[in-house]
Chains A and B, each alone.
Chain A
Amino acid sequence: AQSVSQHNHHVILSEAASLELGCNYSYGGTVNLFWYVQYPGQHLQLLLKYFSGDPLVKGIKGFEAEFIKSKFSFNLRKPSVQWSDTAEYFCAVNEPGYQKVTFGTGTKLQVIP
């Protein structure tokens, strides 16, 4: 079965610091990759997605992620975080040939003003 690992469970950063959240998945074939974000008190929403093509994908609010096939990784980055980025971030993978989406355990990001 597919598995998704997010190694950082809780990250605390000061405003303007750079962010990188790790995500690794287990399946070696073609996958679709997603990052979702859950702001406090809000529903989960899509941040960005990768299906094919350029391995560097850009999402909303200045976030980007890089797909590295050889490392089975899809790390999320932002050059300069803001207090409003405080949220929980989830990496997710689509299982090939299947409608199922598998999520990681999430990373809580706290940005200190």
Chain B
Amino acid sequence: DVKVTQSSRYLVKRTGEKVFLECVQDMDHENMFWYRQDPGLGLRLIYFSYDVKMKEKGDIPEGYSVSREKKERFSLILESASTNQTSMYLCASSYRGMNSPLHFGNGTRLTVT
């Protein structure tokens, strides 16, 4: 069974801090994704990566960056956390190809104070 592991379940950070959210998958998936989930807004794509060192902006990339140095690991970076980045962050992975479903991690609930 596919396992997508997010390093933290809960995080509390202060405004202006640099924040790293880590995600690891164990199924050799080419694609990895970062979404944020907010009530009433559903899931919004921040960034995704279809290969090592490759990345594409999603719908809301502002204030975020990503890193994919190894195939199994995809990091989301908040360069300078702000209160409007308080949210649930979901990592997902999939095989390359339109018909490959996403496999999600359990999420990281980030609170920025």
Interface status of B79 (Cβ within 8 A of chain A): no
Beta-carbon contact of A9 and B40 below 8 Å:
yes
User: Taking the nearest CB of chain A, how far is it from the CB of B75, in angstroms?
Assistant: 18
Beta-carbon contact of B104 and A43 below 8 Å:
yes
Interface status of B111 (Cβ within 8 A of chain A): no
- B interface residue count range (under 10 / 10 to 19 / 20 to 34 / 35 or more): 20 to 34
The 7 closest A-B pairs by CB, nearest first: A105-B42, A103-B43, A44-B104, A46-B101, A94-B98, A43-B104, A51-B99
Across the two chains, which residue of chain B brings its CB closest to A42? B106
A residues with CB within 8 A of B: 1, 6, 9, 32, 34, 36, 42-46, 49, 51, 90, 92, 94, 96, 99-106
Roughly how many angstroms separate A34 CA and B90 CA in the complex, as a whole number?
Answer: 17
On whether A99 and B50 interact (CB within 8 A), knowing A32-B99, A51-B99, A104-B42, the answer reads yes
